[in-house]
Amino acid sequence: MRKLFIIGIGAGNPDYLTAQAIKALSGLDVVFLIDKGREKAALAKLRTEICARYINNKAYRVVEAVDPERNRAPAHYETEVAAWHAKRAAIYERMIREELAEGERGAFLVWGDPCLYDSTLRIVDQVAAMDTVAFEVEVIPGITSIQALAARHKIPINRIGEPMLITTGRKLAERQLHDAVVMLDGGCAFTAVEDEGVEIFWGAYLGTADEILASGPLRECKDEIQKIKIDARARHGWIMDTYLLRKTVAS
């Protein structure tokens, strides 16, 4: 039976890999990589460095495929994402069927944790439902950018007895927030938030040599963070950032 690992590799620092992830990596035969273009070449490079550092089987193979095109401003978001996932599923199915032999161990390496704002598991489930190739799946959790963000700011991510919202930039404007962790904000959705009494704890490229941190009252920080994001994207060609918005509790 083929075995497929979905391995969380943390937020960008190779030291963030868990012992479980390192153990799974050490015996891999195949690593599946999705090429997302020149703008995200640094992400592919980090994955390659992680493989070189932790995979003991020096005969392992890297199998790459080009990520299918996706409309980033569709009229119907969910419909567009479903179509994009279907294209990816077809690519994954071919890669697993043609490149992973019976008895071999392959893996997709996922930034952060595979179970939080990542679609690899959903796409692999679609591949399994096609019933064209049999494989066993094991999921290895990873350190998320949320954990890295809180650790780097030296703060607990939740307050005692209080709930916390994890959302995306696209959904942020639709919610009344107290504590909200925001991921996948391609723009600067925090600039549209009612900023009275709100603090922001922001970080980009968490855990890497390029890490940037900013925090303080949202009203005072939002313009500067917006400028930092624009400059960083221009410099690196890509940006991954996460932030916590926290409503000040009146004393």
Q: In the CATH scheme, what is the code of domain 145-247?
A: 3.30.950.10
Rounded to whole angstroms, the Cα distance separating 7 from 219 reads 38
Per-residue burial over 70-94, b = 16 or more CB atoms within 10 Å of its CB, e = otherwise: eeeeeeeeeeeeeebbeebbebbbe
Structure tokens at 170: 């696209």
| CB distance 21 to 8 below 8 Å | yes
Q: What is the pLDDT of residue 200?
A: 96
What is the CATH number assigned to the segment(s) 2-140?
Answer: 3.40.1010.10
The distance between the two most distant Cα atoms of the chain, rounded to a whole number of Å, is: 63
3-state secondary structure of 176: coil
Q: Measuring CA to CA, which residue among 73, 190, 92, 176 is closest to residue 133?
A: 92
Contact (CB, 8 A) for 66 and 141: no
pLDDT for position 104: 97
Element at 54 (helix H, strand E): helix 41-54
- Spatial distance between the Cα atoms of 5 and 230, rounded to a whole number of angstroms: 35
User: Using CA atoms, how far apart are residues 145 and 245, in angstroms rounded to an integer?
Assistant: 15
CA–CA separation, 179 and 147 (whole Å): 15
Angle between helices 41-54 and 19-26 (to 10 degrees): 80
Run of H or E including 150 = helix 145-153
Domain residues of the chain, as ranges? 2-140, 145-247
Q: What is the pLDDT of residue 102?
A: 97
Q: State the pTM of this model.
A: 0.81
Angle formed at CA 208 by CA 22 and CA 229, multiple of 5 degrees: 140
- In the block, tokens 């890509």 appear at 238
Query: What's the pLDDT score for residue 76?
Result: 87
100/60 Cα distance (integer angstroms):
11
Each residue's pLDDT, cut to its tens digit, for the chain (251 residues) gives 999 999 999 988 889 999 999 999 999 999 999 887 776 777 778 888 899 999 998 899 999 999 888 887 788 888 998 999 999 999 999 999 999 999 999 999 999 999 999 999 999 999 999 999 999 999 999 999 999 999 999 999 988 888 788 888 877 766 656 688 898 888 899 999 888 899 999 999 988 889 999 999 999 999 999 999 999 999 999 998 999 999 886 64
